[in-house]
Amino acid sequence: MNTSLPLPKHFQAAGIAAGIKQRDVLDMALLYSTLPAVMAGTFTTNKIKAASVKLCMDRIEQAETGRAVIINSGNANACTGQQGVLDALAMSAKTAAQLGLDEDQVYVCSTGRIGVPLPMPCIEKGIEQAVPHLSEEHGALAAQAIMTTDTRPKTFTETLMVDGCEIRLTAMAKGAGMIEPNMATMLAFLLTDAAVDRRALRTVLRESVKKSFNRISVDGDMSTNDTVLCFANGAAGNQPLKPGHPQWDAFCALLDRATHTLAMMIIGDGEGAKKVVTIIVRGAGTDEDAERAARAIANSLLVKTSWVLRDANWGRVMDALGYSGAEVQESSVDLFYNERPAVLGGVAADTPAEDLRQVVDSSAFTIAVDLHLGIGAATVYSCDCTEEYVRINV
């Protein structure tokens, strides 16, 4: 396990085993800023939301700042009714009390099985354990504790000079199965010691999530628990970042690198997945049409299974394109595997099948579709569907 994940100034983390999962497996994390931090968040669009998601959404609407997030894996606290709401509140209240904070400064995230009430004795004992365990050294443990079917932790850290101050952005995520368009079973936490204007942070986070986490597809399902939270505590001492600040674009690019890196780590760790496939659709009538087409290809079970072996099987891509709902004119469709044409003008190009097979045989490749109808474009990331995926999910 990677034990060094530097945290930004005035952030601490904990990752402990509370007994929610089997014995001695890390299953609770606490992220804490010793200063009040400006907050931004994005949440699942699923109509059925976990109790913790509802709590976070309410809290972030109202609060100017936040200080901590307490996270458990192994149980989603979703479809748990009024009890779930009370449990999420108790989880934040207990954490706030232990840290000596107001309750509205503490956020809650849960991930795991749906429909089972939180084991509150474990959760409460876990909080008591986590608070004294807080340390600048424990970022990697927290990244480990939020995992469910992930095979490895997903982290990012980078620095940037702003106004002569070094600012750091450190981020962690969990993902794997059930990842789709709208961030399914995906938790991500971004911590920075930069000072950032609250409204600007919210706008840039939303845009950044749209281009990264919302563009990945493992199995087409969206979860009840997806949450991205960003804390900016200003400890670096820079002038607040916002549009007009000379380093604003550099900060936005940093945030984009973080979300894109984590999104790629999630897709690369899709349950049973062995390949990361980038789907680019361009030349669509509109961006929306391009996205519809790209998502239909990325989510097609037939397309995803065809990538498992060395088989381009571009007919399945054409089929998905045709039912995507996007405007498509068969005779003007071009389709490429990396730079090699498989289809030109709607019919098979003369690229040898062996060349296409070589592309599909690699662990990362790009399928590009040009519809030649307009300037709409979209990119979506997908992975293959292996027998392993089915084995994990039965």
Q: Which residues bind a second copy (CB under 8 A)?
A: 45-49, 76, 78-81, 83-84, 113-116, 177-178, 182, 184, 219-224, 299-302, 305-306, 308-309, 311, 314-316, 318-323, 326-328, 330-331, 333, 343, 345-348, 385-387, 389-391, 393-394
> In one letter, which amino acid is 72?
N
CB of 299 to a second copy, least distance (A): 8
Report which of 34, 70, 63 is spatially closest to residue 233, judged by C-alpha positions: 34
Residue 56 CA to residue 58 CA, distance in Å, equals 5
CB of 362 to a second copy, least distance (A): 16
Q: Which helix (H) or strand (E) holds 258?
A: helix 248-268
Using the minimum distance from each CB to a second copy, give the nearer residue, 219 or 269. 219
Residue 300 CA to residue 180 CA, distance in Å, equals 12
Using the minimum distance from each CB to a second copy, give the nearer residue, 169 or 297. 297
The burial of 371, by beta-carbon neighbours within 10 Å (0-12 exposed, 13-18 middle, 19 or more buried), is given as buried
The burial of 261, by beta-carbon neighbours within 10 Å (0-12 exposed, 13-18 middle, 19 or more buried), is given as middle
CB of 214 to a second copy, least distance (A): 13
Using the minimum distance from each CB to a second copy, give the nearer residue, 16 or 184. 184
- Catalytic residue check, 185: yes
CB of 169 to a second copy, least distance (A): 30
Residue 72 in tokens? 């458990």
Using the minimum distance from each CB to a second copy, give the nearer residue, 8 or 112. 112
Using the minimum distance from each CB to a second copy, give the nearer residue, 281 or 385. 385
Tokens 């999530």 correspond to what residue? 209
Q: What interhelical angle do 120-133 and 81-99 show, nearest 10?
A: 20
| Catalytic residue from among 42, 95, 148, 185 | 185
Residue 319 in tokens? 């089929």
CB of 23 to a second copy, least distance (A): 22
Tokens 């600040």 correspond to what residue? 245
> Which positions are annotated as active-site residues?
185
